[in-house]
Structures are given as structure tokens and as C-alpha cells.
Structure 1
């Protein structure tokens, strides 16, 4: 804001005023870039020119209820008449009183702390400040302390009045300008978050092709994977065996800035301890018996990309220390080599081991655990997302048909029902193995049926045909599902009674055959 921006009606400072040269004063105030800087500059100019014992400029906060201070703690309630600022603002006029009188009559602790160091013989003057435009909003208050003569002289000083008017005009304009900038910044930030959220949502939808499932747990996991991929932090994947840690690691690499680089993976539990160090760090020629030529390890091969260490909980302690150095410095030394090498890689580690327990047992380094866990991710077991079993099973059937060159087939409702009922200690991997076995046992072109599933998965939990319908359980906590289960069981019993004849079963239930067929599809009920 330049000097020409000052309103032409602002009173001009003159040499007969408070002793401030007009142009230097105006320039000092106009060059202030913020209301806080303006308040500090104005207080300093008044204090230096008049030799006042104390000058402080307080501001009204956005709510209009509180007076804040640029220096010092505490804020003052504009409706609390235990301090003089409330009196001056409510009156809309300056308030003058002695310091000794203020200490006796006004007991606000923050105000008393402000004036504690002032001599009792001085006079206080509190001047409320308002914007000099059409809005006339309160800006704050100017507090002065001086002897009686100096305070009385201010009342008729035209230069002081001009200074105060200039201070208020500049303050109001800077406050409005700052508010507009803050609103613009907030708007830009909101738009950026909105665009960023939309971008992440699109990436998560693409990720659904690799990490299947519409359950809340999988949606949350996909969102976390996208977040992890945007960083270069080490990721620690924890979850039961068969939950898909390898798939998640590959997804993190695929959606990261290192996607064009290599993805190297190793299972630390599958390689003997004597060979694991060589696999990771590589070796020089002649490093050990049989090392006829130099070999680059996985750390070197992963340079510029991602290294996935599966089952890191089984890594020997000696190798853990060497891996920690790679993570902290990016440097490593192959076996038998004399020189160190550098590797720029992103590490993703996975384990089903309870690492905290292994730390207590001194089988895993605590410093490595905290370095690996910069971005921890927990993979949900299949038992916590049973609603995804149908989607996964259908995808595994399609994958089997593609691998074996068979025509595409489906999966019957009875088979899906029995797959949902099964416990899965092996999680998604176990489900895939079950589906592959059942597909292999099914005739080509035939849908996968419950009869093709292994015996422990095909044991039905339905009551015998002659058994009466079970009474509703008092522990029902989902009425809709309970009604669906009861209706499905009734239909199954009627179909068994009529040897699968849907026409007779529908007639006995008093519904059209088409309605019964629709309910059978909806409730996944098959004819016996």
C-alpha cells in the first residue's frame, strides 16, 4: 500500500502537533505490512516522540468479544468491567484515571499485571479505536501512561488526532486485506484438498483391480496404500498368513514415484541364514568357497525402486544391524568387498510375527522396528471381511479358467454359501486353494458346485429335512438378516419335501413359481 492510497480526508500531521514530522510518520505507518506490525510501529512512534512511560495497542479478535495482545499472555473479555478497556469500549470515548486508582478499583489479574511496574503517580488513558469508514467496526484500544500534563495536552492536540485517525484507517485496510488473503488461501487449500481427494479416490478405484473387495476394511486399506505410495517412508505390513501382503507391497510400488524402477522381493524365512546375507548384499569374487564370480545382491538390484522383505521377523539379528545401516545411510558393503556402495531404495517389509514380543525376547532389534514402522499398515484377516468372499471366489474361478484354458464358468449359490461359512486360518490364500481344487474337480464347462469343494468345506450346517424350523434366537441383533435366514430355511425344507419340485413347493407356500424362483436366487437357495 503506497502513501497515495491514504484517504484524502485523513487529517494531516503538522509541525505544531505532537512533534512528529508528518511525512516520516506517514511513511513508517504506511510501510507496515500487517495489523500487528502497524500496532507495534504506532506504539513505538508515540512512545519515542512523547516520552510516554507506557504505550500498548490491543486488538479486538474476530468474534468481537475478546481483546488480544501482540505481546504477553492472556486476553481480556470486552464485557468484563474489572479492567478499563471494557469501560472505554462500551462508552465509546477515552477513559482517564490514575494508576493508583486503577490498582484499587480494577482487580482484573491480567490488567494488573500490565500496569504492575508503572509508578502510582502516573495517569492512564484508554482510547477506544474504530474504523473511520462506513462500517465503523471496533478495532481495539490504545493504552497510554504519562504524567498529568502530558495526558491533558493530548486532548487538544490536532497532530495526535491526525495520527490516531491515520492509524485507524491503515489498520482497517490492512485487516480487510489480510482477511481477504486468508479467505483466498483457505479457498485454495480447500480446492487443493478437494482435487487431491478426488485424485486419491480415482487411484483407489484403480487399485481395486488388484486388491479385491468392497468391504469397509478393504476400502480403508486401499486408501492407506495410496497414502503410503505417495511417500518415501518405509512401510511395515503386518497381518496373518495369507492376507495378501505381497499384493499390497506390489501395489505400493506400482502407485509410487518409483513405479518405473525395479521391484525386488525375498522371503527371509525361506532362505538359510548362511545364504541370506549374500542374497541381500551380494558378494565379491572369492568372498567364500564357490564364489567364482561377483554377484550383485537384491539391495543393489533394487536401486531406484522397491525392496520387499517378506517375513522380516525371521531375519537373524546380525543381518538386522546391517539392514538398519542401509536404511539410515543408504550405504552397504557386499560380502568380501573392500568398498562401500550406495543404494537408493524404498523398503517395504512384512511379517505375521508379533514383533513387539520378539523385541522383548531380544530376537528383534527395537531400533530397526521403529525405523521400519514409519508407515505401518495392518491387513485385515478374511474372517473380518466375509462379504468379500463371493467377489474373491468368482475372481479365482475366472483366473483358474484363464490359466487352464477352460471356458468361463460361474459358481453356484450353495458353493458360495458354504465358502462363507468356513473358517479361514489361511485367509485369502486358503480360499484361493479351495477354489482351485474345486475348479479342478468340476467337469469342464460346469459351474463350481458345493459338491466339488473339499469335505471339510462341504459339510452342510443345515438341519435334517424332517427337523422342524428352529425358533428365532433371543440373541438376534440383525432383524433383517434373521428374517432372511428363516425364510431361506423354510424354502429349503419345502424343496426337500417335494424333491426339488419348485411348482409344488411354491403352491404349498401360496406364492407363484416365479416369485419362489426369484427368492431362491436372492437367498442363494438351491434345489436338493
Structure 2
């Protein structure tokens, strides 16, 4: 191969400088019209592929490969292959070239005999042993002489030997190295730019979600870890159109979760239709959901749209889905799968674009085993399951919830602002809440009603726990004879029991006299100061 194999017919490379340090792109392009398409490469990989295609057009060459050095500088890779060559392994010729910085030329037969790298041997296994291999180092002509990779050429012996002095190949190689280095830098800049862009996008998305979660905190109070996690999950749910199954004990606020998800979703401007499946008779539930045509049944004097139709473009919330009759479950499943439904008495199906949120306190898996709930509907409803924590799992939120409920009561009842004493708050935090947040709200409403205007809620204003002895004493009922013995069967700590009895009696008397300690003390036959002292000892006041 001669310089004319890669040079232009006019003038050629005889007058072009081929020193890699001073090589100019314009000179290269003027000297090598056949290589101009290399400049059109947009990535280092595309450049290498075009270089190999161009080289294989030269006379005498039967095989060519361009290896690239990876980011670690330790491995040489090959486009389109999983093969990797360790630069410290001298069992292949590429390591010799990279380490020495000089070209290496030997016959294929010698390469097979002298080099034992399995990956390299696999490369040359099908080549004729009479052919010659030349490996050339590729380095960028910058101040640091950056390593790029290696060029491997196989061809007829005389042709390959001539390549060592071929000015056209030298110019082509220099141009390739300059383009390669430039494209690598550009690719690195693009990657860094993309990483920065992705990072900013994640930060913005994270900030957006955090702001949305904080907005949800206005509807779902609580700074506990359980509530923070729930709000984050709700934000994720709001970003999708997946069916949401909200599970949790009674009184945990499942309906508020459903409304908050709707309000945070892209359907927020659409309708939010809700129905309690346990509160409507089975004979009416189907009509409420699917609607009916005029004359569909006795009493259907006119056509009526059901909630599915009314929720088109918005959200349908089915509370207590665990109590839905089996026959309706099959029809609801069809709506979820196809978006189609048929009103009672209608001859044609209709379509509805809605997002379904269902809630239940029922153990649905158990109801599936009992054949009272469809498994296929359960899995379709549970595309995005949410578990609302009990109040016992978020006791740290009781103070915040209490303040909110007090403010709500005062607003509704046009009462002046009031607070709650530390003793009363301690009592609230120590209670058992089978009714969860709803029970807490009812307790606060009662205590607010029992507290004189302008005062703070004290411990005596709170209803007692549902213990038999406490109930009897708080109600003022006489406890004598066998009844008294029955009530004391569970006594373990007599001193603590007497303390609870005394506290229950004093609380009941304070409630009877609207917190007037003078009247309560007189009714118990105690000096007022003694009653005040007992209130402090029993934590029935703020001190």
C-alpha cells in the first residue's frame, strides 16, 4: 500500500505535513477527500466504525480493528464485542503497543505461537498464518498525548510492511486521533451536562413532591414518621392513574386520604364522587353506582345517572368496599378493566374515564378465603396499596390533632379560644383508641363542651376509659355487695386501684358542677384546699 491509496490524485500528500503535532484539519481534508466523511461522525464509536470501513477498502488488507481505551485506562475494548484486553497482560500485542507507544508488526503465525491471550487467539484463529499483523498506538496530538486506543491491521505481508511508511495512512490516523479526542471531549461535556440536568430535574421534582407533601399536611395532620411516609406515598399515588386501595382501622381518616389524593392529582378539577358501600342496601347500590333508565324497575319514573357516570373525568371513591355484594363486584371489575358499564335497563354500554379509590377496614384476604370477596377485584383494586396508620402508631401527633380539634370546635360553636392543660394532654396520650382519630375528635368535642367558656380543658373534663370500675364510679352508681366484689375481681395493685377510684369520683363531681371546685369539695365533704391538693396529686389539673 502506498500513500496514494489514501491520498487525493491532485498534489497528494507529498506537500502536506503529516507531523501529528502540527497537523491541521483543513490540510487533512484537502489531502484526503476519501476521509472527509470521518468528520461527519458524531460519536467516537461512529468514527471508529467509519475508519475501519475506509481502511478495509485499501488494497492488501483483509482485516482491521480499532480498539478503544476505557475510562479507567486499564482495559481495551472492541465495538460490538464483549471482549476486553487488560493493558497489563502482555499475552496480546495491544498491551505491548500501549506500554511502549510504538507500533508492533509480526506474522499471524508468530502471533499465534508467541502470544497466549485467549481473546486475542480467538480474534486471529480464522486468519491465514501467512498474513501479517500490524498494531499501531493511537494517541491524541495534545499536550498530554492522551491515549485513545490501538489500531490493528492484517493483510498481505508486503502491503502491511509498507504501511509503516505510508504517509496517507499516517495522515488518516492523525486526523482520526484529533477527531476522536474532540468527540470524546464533546461526549464527556454532553454527559456531564446531562448528569447536571438530570440532577437538577431530580432536585426540582423532589422539591415539587416535598411541597405537595407539605400541602397535604394541611389535610392530614401529623409530623410523625408514619404520617410523613403516608403523605409521600400519597404524592406518588396522585401522580398516576392507578387504582388505590386505602386500608386501615375505623376512624383513621381513610376518606380524607382519598380526597387528598384526588386534590393532588391531575384530576383535581374533575368531580370527586363518594359512596359508602356498607350504608346502602344491596338493591339500591347497583342503581346508585351504574344509574338506570326510565322504567328499569318499579319506581324508576325517569332516567338517572349513577356515580360512575358522574365521576367521569374525576375520581370515584368507594368506601367500605369490603361490604360490596359479590354480584356487584363482578360488574365493578369490568369497569376497572375496560372503562365500560351498562346502566340498569340500558341496551348499550357507556364509557367512563375515572380514577377509582377504594377503602376498607375489612381484612380482604380473609374475605377472599371465605368466598366473600373476589380475588381478581382485590388485585385490580390494589394497584397502589396504602396503609393508614392507627393513632397508636402515631401518638406523637395527638397534641397537634388535639389543638386542631379544639380550634375547630371553637370555630363551629363560636366559642372563645381555649387550650388544654398538660395533665389532660398526658391523659389523652395514655389512652387506648379503638376508634382512632375519630374517637379522639369526639373526646375533644365533649371536653370542649364541658369546659367553661374562656377556660382550658382539664383532665376531669375528659370521659374516663371504658373500665368497669371506673364507669360505675364515674356514673355515681352505688357499688355494694356482690356487684362491688365482681368489679374488684381484676384488682392487682390495690394502691393504684384506690388512686383510680378516687380520681374517678373527683372527676365525676367536677363534671357535675361544671368544674366548680368549691361545690365539688362541699359535695364530697372536703375542704377546698384538700380537693385542690388531691387534684394535683392525681394529675387532674395543669400543675
* TM score, norm. by length of structure 1: 0.81
1:499 lines up with 2:509 in the alignment: no
Displacement after TM superposition at 1:11 (Å): 8.8
Q: Give the aligned partner of residue 170 of structure 1.
A: 179
Runs of 4+ in 1 over 6 A off after TM superposition: 495-498
1:53 lines up with 2:62 in the alignment: yes
Displacement after TM superposition at 1:500 (Å): 7.5
Displacement after TM superposition at 1:24 (Å): 3.1
Displacement after TM superposition at 1:103 (Å): 3.4
Question: Aligned to 2:44, which of 11, 31, 35?
Answer: 35
Distance in 1 of aligned mates of 2:238 and 2:185: 41
Structure 1 residues 351 and 135, CA gap change in structure 2 (3 angstroms)? farther
Q: What is the 5 A alignment of 1:136-155? A: 136-155=145-164
Distance in 2 of aligned mates of 1:390 and 1:463: 30
Contact 2:23–2:174 under 8 Å retained in 1? no
Structure 1 residues 210 and 31, CA gap change in structure 2 (3 angstroms)? same
Structure 1 residues 527 and 196, CA gap change in structure 2 (3 angstroms)? closer
Q: Give the aligned partner of residue 508 of structure 1.
A: none
Contact 1:14–1:159 under 8 Å retained in 2? no
Distance in 1 of aligned mates of 2:47 and 2:276: 64
Q: What is the 5 A alignment of 1:156-305? A: 156-305=165-314
Q: Give the aligned partner of residue 119 of structure 2.
A: 110
Contact 1:258–1:304 under 8 Å retained in 2? yes
Question: Aligned to 2:378, which of 369, 372, 380?
Answer: 369
* TM score, norm. by length of structure 2: 0.79
Displacement after TM superposition at 1:43 (Å): 0.9
Mind listing any 5+ residue stretches in structure 2 that lack a counterpart?
1-20, 471-492, 500-528
Distance in 1 of aligned mates of 2:533 and 2:116: 94
Q: CA RMSD in A?
A: 3.1
Structure 1 residues 171 and 14, CA gap change in structure 2 (3 angstroms)? closer
1:344 lines up with 2:361 in the alignment: no
Structure 1 residues 41 and 447, CA gap change in structure 2 (3 angstroms)? same
Distance in 2 of aligned mates of 1:463 and 1:402: 42
Displacement after TM superposition at 1:463 (Å): 7.0
Distance in 1 of aligned mates of 2:352 and 2:191: 43
Displacement after TM superposition at 1:222 (Å): 1.6
Displacement after TM superposition at 1:328 (Å): 2.6
Q: Give the aligned partner of residue 102 of structure 2.
A: 93
CA offset digits 1:318-341 (Å, max 9, x no partner):
322322222232221111111222
CA offset digits 1:96-148 (Å, max 9, x no partner):
23334333443333333333333333332222211112232111122222232
1:442 lines up with 2:451 in the alignment: yes
Contact 1:10–1:162 under 8 Å retained in 2? no
Structure 1 residues 141 and 422, CA gap change in structure 2 (3 angstroms)? same
CA offset digits 1:428-481 (Å, max 9, x no partner):
12211222222233333332222122221797x9975999xxxxxxxxxxxxxx
Structure 1 residues 185 and 13, CA gap change in structure 2 (3 angstroms)? closer
Distance in 2 of aligned mates of 1:465 and 1:265: 47
CA offset digits 1:7-51 (Å, max 9, x no partner):
862595699xxxxx921322x201111111111111111113345
Q: Give the aligned partner of residue 93 of structure 2.
A: 84
Distance in 2 of aligned mates of 1:121 and 1:316: 84
Contact 1:268–1:276 under 8 Å retained in 2? yes
Which has the higher Rg, Structure 1 or Structure 2?
A: 2
Structure 1 residues 359 and 497, CA gap change in structure 2 (3 angstroms)? closer
Range with greater deviation from structure 2 (134-143 or 369-378): 369-378
Distance in 2 of aligned mates of 1:430 and 1:527: 23
Displacement after TM superposition at 1:360 (Å): 4.3
Contact 1:12–1:159 under 8 Å retained in 2? no
Structure 1 residues 457 and 65, CA gap change in structure 2 (3 angstroms)? farther
1:25 lines up with 2:35 in the alignment: yes
Contact 2:459–2:540 under 8 Å retained in 1? no
Question: Aligned to 2:144, which of 135, 154, 164?
Answer: 135
What SS does the corresponding residue of 1:143 show, helix, strand or coil? Answer: strand
Q: Number of aligned pairs? A: 470
Distance in 2 of aligned mates of 1:86 and 1:124: 15
Contact 1:496–1:527 under 8 Å retained in 2? no
CA offset digits 1:497-516 (Å, max 9, x no partner):
993899xx9xxxxxxxxxxx
Distance in 1 of aligned mates of 2:335 and 2:85: 55
Distance in 1 of aligned mates of 2:102 and 2:294: 91
Structure 1 residues 14 and 261, CA gap change in structure 2 (3 angstroms)? closer
Displacement after TM superposition at 1:240 (Å): 2.0
Displacement after TM superposition at 1:297 (Å): 0.5
Distance in 1 of aligned mates of 2:121 and 2:369: 56
Contact 2:458–2:541 under 8 Å retained in 1? no
Contact 2:424–2:540 under 8 Å retained in 1? no
Distance in 2 of aligned mates of 1:108 and 1:382: 67
Distance in 2 of aligned mates of 1:452 and 1:527: 12
Contact 1:355–1:364 under 8 Å retained in 2? yes
Mind listing any 5+ residue stretches in structure 1 that lack a counterpart?
1-5, 16-20, 468-494, 506-523
Contact 1:84–1:126 under 8 Å retained in 2? yes
Structure 1 residues 117 and 255, CA gap change in structure 2 (3 angstroms)? same
Q: Give the aligned partner of residue 485 of structure 1.
A: none
1:325 lines up with 2:334 in the alignment: yes
Structure 1 residues 295 and 498, CA gap change in structure 2 (3 angstroms)? closer
Displacement after TM superposition at 1:370 (Å): 3.1
